Chains A and B, each alone.
Chain A
Amino acid sequence: MLRNFIAVLLLLWAFPVQAAAPEDVIDGWYRLTLNLVRHTATYSPPVASRAFAYVGITAYEATASGNDHLQTLVGQLNELKSLPKREQGKAYDEAVVLNAAMDAAMNDFFSNTGPSGQHALAAQSRLQKAEVAKGLAPDIVARSDAYGRKLEKAILAWSNTDGGAHITNLGFPLKYEMSKLPGHWVPTSSYQIQQFPLLPDWGKNRTFAMPMGATCGLPGPVPFSEDMNSDFIKQAEEVHDIRNGDTGEEKIIARFWSDDPGLSWTPAGHWIGFILDIAKRDHFTIAKTSATLARLGVAVADGFIGCWHEKLVYDSIRPVTVIKKYIDPKWETLLITPPFQEYPSGHSTQSGAAAVALTSALGDNFAFDDATHERDGLGVRHFKSFWDAANEAGVSRIYGGIHFRKAITDGLDQGRCIGAYAAKLVMEK
């Protein structure tokens, strides 16, 4: 009998029951978030960025609520006035709180995913709930789980008033008054559903860290002109010539940053993806991981709101329309021209914002490998810094034939302005 008892003790010592760590919890849910963004039809890049922001804030607040070194975002993010607090003197498990909050957030923000997404959500809920509870007292699990879900519900309620909660018709309006003025946007897609621009009111959404969508305004695109010697036509010729003379490397870069909705994690998810890899590579603590992901989520979400605000202000025409009309009727883009206005470039704005936010959090000259599209056969790219990546994301849009240069340079500038607000958020005390 005693020998058996000792054997059990030895077994427990060698293989203790180990619950999942918070770092595993956040990584697991974020990996699923990326998949669901790709496979949920409404998740165009702006909508995806919003989800990354709220999921990130949820994970961060769940973590911060039990960590004295982290500062809540209440009072720092627009109209986030309060969040539930933990009961004083009661024990909580950090992984269970985090898991419950993220589980609830995923099920709320991706409630419209398809049957395979629902399967994946249910499976992950089941698996992670069991993993985090291993070896814990039931009352601690119950209390922690309830708190995580209560916290998420408060964030969900806050999210419902931002103007971006309800997406219909995949984000395309059923009615929209198009400008007939020359140089204004005209549809470039042969899909009926894309004859009006995607999410024309997105720029009116409540922002997260920056004051409002109009905060980081831009000077506007090169003025439209039909004069073949004008700057306007010259910028179109540049896009035409680059595309026609593209090297293999330019094509690779264009496709690497294409980040098409429904076929990728979208531009925002691209940045989230390599941060998850960096967090794993550098063994980030849960505090650092959740703070970085929340800051990044806020930056890209504000980036898309600011960018969309300017898109509606300038309502500018895409290169393919100009080039086909004035330069080369048979010209084709490498990438699919997105079904909305050209100026500024969304990927540039949000990448610029992301680069500012991440540089502030992790430092300049932070080198990393980006394996986002490895499974899609697009290889791994190395970057010397976040700005190195942002600049490449920007220029990729010329290589793809979908933006003029000014939309990229101004977009990156706008991102620099927007990202500064995310960078200012006080998170780690």
Chain B
Amino acid sequence: MKRALSLSALLCGSICVAPALADPVIPQFKNETVTAGIHSIYKGEWQYMVGGGVAALDCDGSGKPALLIAGGENKAKLFLNRSKTGGALKFAEAKNSGLEFDKVTGAYPIDIDGDGKMDLVVLRVGENKIMRGDGHCHFTQMNKQWNIDGGDAWNTAFSATWEKGNALPTLAFGTYIDRKFEDDPWGHCTDNWLLRPNDKQDGYGPRIALTPSYCTLSMLFTDWNRSGTPSLRVSNDREYYMGGQEQMWKILPGAAPTLYTEAEGWKYVRLWGMGIASADINDSGYPSYFLSSMADQRMQMLANGATKPAYKESQFEMGTTAHRPYTGGDERPSTGWHTQFEDVNNDGRYDLFIAKGNVDKMPDFAMKDPNNLLLQKDDGNFEEVGDKAGILSFKNHRGALLVDLNHDGKLDLIVVNRRENIEIWQNVSTNLGHFVEIKLKQDGPNLNAVGAWIEVKEDGGHIMRRENFVGGGHASGAAGFLHFGLGSQSASQIRVLWPDGTQGEWQDVKADGFYLIEKNKAAKAWQAGD
């Protein structure tokens, strides 16, 4: 074989080139910040150098996501979605939604009580607010009724899962620096904590401290080995901890949380952990994780199969280091925040978004630090196209979401900025592949099937696969339709692996549609109000 290759190389000489791989289609985004009707500034000094999240949720059954945007010292604002399907992005600020809190750092939507109306976990510098939605974009605080102590910490991360047999989700909260030590913050990380349902399943039991805690900026319940029981991945900011590292907690039903250890394969990794993105980006059957940080960002791929939580860092070979601004002339290292895998050009491959921005006047790091949009290519590696796609910005970015705001099957982008107004872009591409968007439903308390895996057959026989999770990113989360690109396919097949282990059938779906998939039922084309 080696000889054959050598002969071939000899015959080719210098005129033969390897067959070119198809370049990914670059999506086109239009900045609609001025016209979208959103004005919200993440304001504040030291205690707001992190956070600045956004939550996207269908709060009124329309299907289209409203946006709750953290304001820091400003009040958080809920913006109702008035966009027409396929039209320009239009929002109107909600009045008296019940969410107008100050000191908000971020938020995650989750239907905690399984009533079909989306609730919100609002993270704050101070007491977290657990807000129950009424289906009409009004929210009521439920901390007392559900016996949830919102605490008094610098809250920066959240994730949730339904442990087997429970009527309510297990909630994990990540916290940052002890605010008492503003003048000497190093080594003063406060506890992260877990809340599990009480025995009656009508509220929550006492806090369970996740010690040691290392100044967390993102956490994610994720079924890393497809065992059916998610673990809690925690990304920590090495700037402030002592003796810390990245963490993953085993959260087994009824048992105290325990950390994965080096003996079990967990590697001793330390970074300025800011955000977690997760998806099966290489059709391996297992999730990969992208961890935003300062300078080189990290791409972690499962190294030794499901038996060990050992991850190989692959950012270098995959082209996702995103270590310094790719344009703008500032050559200093970058600072990454929200990160998210999505298919922005509908070609059936996961792409990667990273929000970027200087922490605050850190002269060793880029001040002009544009967000990254990295398209995955046929060979599995990534290519930067942020400027070509029209999302170039040099503001100080923090939280963000890629989400289909106008239900045209193309993912739009909202980014929260520190000390400046948000920015919002409509994906106005005209040459993208097909898509399908899926909403899950099952009986029982975990109505939206958090923890399910969705698989979609793609061109060339590969499977696009994602976990339905709550958490990750940087203080930002979305609930609602899950988006998949389909490339050139006019139809595809989808199956759902439900949280209880039930394996759904492969179901036919036509491209360019929205579907509601209920457990044990045929996929149904979705209509607004379903």
Contacts and interface: CB of A to CB of B under 8 A. Distances in A.
B361 A192 contact: no
A63 interface: no
Interface string A24-44: 000000000001001111100
A263 B246 CA distance: 13
Contacts of A192: 296, 315-316, 321, 323
B185 A193 contact: no
Interface in B170-192: 182-187
Given A114-B359, A262-B238, A170 B331 contact: no
Contacts of B187: 375
A112 interface: yes
A114 B362 contact: yes
A6 B410 CA distance: 84
B390 interface: no
A118 B45 CA distance: 12
B186 A38 contact: yes
Interface in B313-370: 313-317, 321, 323-324, 331-333, 359-365
B323 A115 contact: no
Contact of A263 (B183, B184, B238, B331): B238
B295 to A, nearest CB: 5
Contacts of A124: 183
Given A116-B46, A116-B240, A191-B316, A41 B183 contact: no
Given A170-B333, A174-B331, A193 B242 contact: no
B186 A263 contact: no
B39 interface: no
A375 B182 contact: no
A191 B364 contact: no
Contacts of B331: 168-169, 174
A377 interface: yes
A377 B214 CA distance: 13
A42 B333 CA distance: 11
A181 to B, nearest CB: 23
Contacts of B314: 190
B240 A41 contact: no
Contacts of B234: none
Given A116-B185, A169-B333, A375-B187, A191 B361 contact: no
Interface residues on B, range: 35 or more
B364 A41 contact: yes
Contacts of A191: 295-296, 315-316, 321, 323
A378 interface: yes
Contacts of A111: 363
Given A190-B315, A191-B295, A193-B296, A115 B243 contact: no
B294 interface: yes
A215 to B, nearest CB: 31
B239 A39 contact: yes
Given A115-B360, A115-B361, A375-B187, A193 B239 contact: no
B105 to A, nearest CB: 16
Contacts of B296: 190-194
Contacts of A139: none
A223 B427 CA distance: 59
Nearest to B322: A192
B128 to A, nearest CB: 23
Given A41-B365, A169-B331, A114 B313 contact: no
Contacts of A17: none
Interface in A95-136: 111-112, 114-116, 118-120, 123-124
A115 B294 contact: no
B316 A190 contact: yes
A87 interface: no
Contact of A375 (B243, B324, B359): B243
Given A35-B186, A193-B324, A375-B243, A42 B295 contact: no
Contacts of A375: 187, 242-243
Contacts of A373: 243
A331 B242 CA distance: 28
B183 A119 contact: yes
B270 interface: yes
Interface string B40-74: 00000010010000000000000000000000000
A170 B364 contact: yes
> Which of A170, A191, A193 has the largest number of chain B CB atoms within 10 A?
A191
Contacts of A177: none
Given A35-B186, A190-B313, A375-B242, A114 B295 contact: no
B243 A42 contact: no
Nearest to A121: B183
B281 to A, nearest CB: 17
Contacts of B317: 190
Interface string A367-390: 000000101111000000000000
Contacts of B184: 35, 120, 123
A193 B332 CA distance: 10
Interface in B138-169: none
Contacts of A35: 184, 186
Contacts of A376: 242-243
A187 to B, nearest CB: 9
B332 A168 contact: yes
A238 B243 CA distance: 29
Nearest to A251: B262
A97 B46 CA distance: 31
Interface centre among B242, B324, B363 (most CB of A within 10 A): B242
Nearest to B184: A120
B333 A193 contact: yes
A116 B186 CA distance: 9
B372 to A, nearest CB: 13
A376 B242 CA distance: 5
Interface centre among A41, A120, A262 (most CB of B within 10 A): A41
A376 B243 CA distance: 4
B333 A120 contact: no
A42 B364 contact: yes
B359 A193 contact: no
Contacts of B243: 373, 375-378
A82 B363 CA distance: 32
Contacts of A170: 295, 333, 364
Given A115-B362, A170-B364, A193 B295 contact: yes
Contact of B364 (A112, A119, A263): A112
Given A193-B333, A376-B242, A376-B243, A115 B49 contact: yes
B49 A263 contact: no
A41 B294 contact: yes
B243 to A, nearest CB: 4
Interface in A298-323: none
Given A190-B317, A191-B296, 14 more contacts: A39-B186, A112-B363, A116-B46, A119-B183, A119-B185, A120-B184, A170-B295, A174-B331, A191-B316, A192-B315, A192-B316, A193-B333, A375-B187, A375-B243
Interface of A: 35, 38-42, 111-112, 114-116, 118-120, 123-124, 167-170, 174, 190-194, 262-263, 373, 375-378
The 9 tightest CB contacts between A and B, nearest first, are A123-B183, A192-B321, A191-B296, A376-B243, A377-B243, A190-B316, A115-B360, A192-B323, A375-B242
26 contacts: A39-B239, A40-B364, A41-B333, A41-B365, A42-B364, A112-B362, A112-B364, A115-B46, A115-B49, A115-B362, A118-B361, A119-B185, A168-B331, A169-B324, A169-B331, A169-B333, A170-B333, A174-B331, A190-B296, A190-B315, A192-B315, A192-B323, A193-B324, A262-B238, A376-B242, A378-B243
